[in-house]
């Protein structure tokens, strides 16, 4: 039975992603000098303004306005004619310390909040991610690359992608049937040139010919011009792109965002651990695809539940796999932090192009170094 599935991604100049990057840049600044710092920071941006609010408990000093300006600069808002730029933006902060009621549970190694986290892996791509979100990220990364290296000089920082893949009756992705690509641009560029450039230099460059349906539809800036973008055109808030951050809606989501939260918050650390477990299960050949659910109670170190769904792709029972997971992995917040080495300033770069499927330095939850332990435990 033919089935279509669609995922999206956004560039680092998208308003919501500016806020995610600000939140994680603040977190990195704290962790750089204070590994015991507690951070729960969110940002909001609109025309000419960024507001940063939340809780920070630390022994170091963080210059939040300077961090905000640097993030905006790196995102590409460097020209006043964009209507939003790093030099003129106003920055408002409202920061307090973490509640002592929460801290008393976290300080003894418990979870910083209740929460439900999901991790997912599938063998349909080399990075063990769903194909639609994988290509959606690649499209916006390519868009940003062409802007930053000057190949397409009229591009501006904001942009979005959306990719639809057809799956066959075995659940295998076979071809891309539709692509939506929206790219902010300078006023004077002709739409004919933009359409041709983005089709050839982005869409056809990223999606191999063998994966393109012969009738694949391409919608490039489908409303016409896209001159006004970023926070001038749309308000941004931390945590509004959680499906972009994870699996492109392919897997379930507990609802909590990642950015701006230190690893004591299981919203982030346990979601990373669930992905790490899922990826190693697939890499170990235990299942072709798997979704891992971890649930925690505030102040309690061990998860209150571990749930597995292999979608009928494993010869082992899901109860058996759940027992193996508890045997092989320390699922306490402290154990997760130690295993994945999360008390490092590595989070700013996770805030764009997804937190998963990236085999880059610092993305320890993408390692497959638990394969042997899982294979031995499941066979024993």
Which positions ≥6 away from 284 have C-beta within 8 Å? 370, 371, 374, 375, 378
> Quick one: pLDDT at residue 103?
53
Calculate mean pLDDT across residues 134-162: 98
Contact of 18 with 67, CB cutoff 8 Å: no
DSSP string, 171-182: S-EEEEEEEEEE
Report strand pairing: 173-185 vs 212-220.
parallel
- pLDDT 10s digits, 155-180: 999 999 999 999 999 999 999 999 99
- Could you give the CA distance from residue 303 to residue 141 in angstroms, rounded to a whole number? 36
Q: What is the rounded average pLDDT for all residues in the chain?
A: 95
Of the listed ranges 97-106, 186-195, 200-209, the one predicted with least confidence: 97-106
Q: Mean pLDDT over residues 49-59, rounded?
A: 97
Residues near 4 by Cβ (< 8 Å), separated by ≥ 6? 164, 165, 166, 167, 177
Name the E strands within 221-369. Answer: 236-237, 289-296, 305-309
Alpha carbons 92 and 186: distance in angstroms, whole number:
29
Query: Which pLDDT score, from 0 to 100, does residue 66 have?
Result: 98
User: Average pLDDT in the 255-274 region?
Assistant: 95
Instruction: Name the region of 315 (left: φ>0; alpha: ψ -120 to 50; beta: rest).
Output: alpha
What local confidence, expressed as pLDDT, does residue 207 receive? 98
Helices (H) and strands (E) in the chain, counts: 11, 11
pLDDT for the residue numbered 76: 97
Higher pLDDT, 105 or 47: 47
Sorting pLDDT into bands at 50, 70 and 90, what band is 107? low
- pLDDT higher than threshold 70 for residue 101: no
Q: Are strands 236-237 and 38-46 parallel, antiparallel or unpaired?
A: antiparallel
State how far the alpha carbon of 50 is from the alpha carbons of 11, 82, 137, 159, in Å: 18, 16, 25, 19
Query: Residue 102 has what pLDDT?
Result: 56
**Angle subtended at Cα 137 by Cα 259 and Cα 209, rounded to the nearest 5 degrees:** 170
- Which pLDDT value is given to residue 108? 47
**pLDDT tens-digit readout, 209-241:** 999 999 999 999 998 899 999 999 999 999 999
For 352, the token pair is: 């764009």
Residue 100 has pLDDT above 70, yes or no: no
Does residue 346 register a pLDDT over 90?
Answer: yes
Residues 286 and 371 sit within 8 Å (Cβ to Cβ): no
The pLDDT-based confidence of 99 (bands split at 50, 70, 90) is: low
Tell me: the pLDDT tens digits for 249-263?
999 999 999 999 999
pLDDT at position 291 over 50: yes
């Amino acid at each position: 039975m033919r089935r279509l599935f669609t995922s999206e991604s956004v560039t680092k100049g998208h308003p919501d992603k500016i806020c995610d990057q600000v939140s994680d840049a603040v977190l990195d600044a704290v962790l750089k000098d204070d590994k015991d710092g507690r951070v729960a920071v969110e940002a909001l941006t609109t025309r000419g303004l960024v507001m940063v609010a939340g809780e920070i408990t630390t022994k170091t000093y963080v210059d939040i306005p300077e961090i905000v300006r640097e993030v905006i600069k790196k995102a590409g808002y460097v020209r006043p004619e964009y209507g939003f730029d790093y030099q003129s933006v106003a920055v408002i902060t409202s920061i307090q310390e973490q509640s002592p009621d929460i801290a008393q549970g976290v300080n003894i190694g418990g979870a910083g909040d209740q929460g439900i986290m999901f991790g997912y892996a599938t063998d349909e791509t080399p990075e063990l991610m769903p194909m639609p979100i994988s290509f959606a990220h690649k499209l916006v990364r390519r868009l940003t690359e062409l802007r930053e290296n000057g190949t397409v000089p009229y591009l501006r920082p904001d942009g979005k992608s959306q990719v639809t893949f057809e799956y066959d009756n075995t659940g295998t992705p076979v071809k891309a049937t539709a692509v939506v690509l929206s790219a902010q641009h300078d006023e004077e560029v002709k739409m004919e040139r933009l359409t041709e450039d983005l089709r050839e230099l982005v869409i056809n460059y990223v999606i191999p010919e063998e994966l393109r349906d012969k009738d694949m539809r391409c919608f490039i800036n489908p409303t016409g011009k896209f001159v006004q973008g970023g926070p001038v055109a749309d308000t941004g808030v931390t945590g509004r792109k959680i499906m972009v951050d994870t699996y492109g809606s392919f897997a379930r989501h507990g609802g909590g965002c990642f950015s701006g939260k230190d690893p004591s918050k299981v919203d982030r650390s346990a979601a990373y651990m669930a992905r790490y477990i899922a990826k190693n299960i697939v890499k170990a050949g235990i299942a072709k695809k798997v979704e891992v659910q971890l649930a925690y109670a505030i102040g309690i170190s061990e998860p209150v539940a571990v749930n597995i769904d292999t979608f009928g792709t494993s010869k082992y029972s899901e109860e058996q796999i759940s027992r193996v997971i508890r045997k092989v992995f320390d699922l306490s917040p402290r154990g997760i932090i130690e295993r994945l080495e999360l008390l490092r300033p590595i989070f700013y770069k996770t805030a764009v192009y997804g937190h998963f499927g990236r085999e880059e330095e610092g993305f320890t939850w993408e390692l497959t170094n638990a394969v042997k332990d899982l294979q031995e435990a499941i066979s024993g």
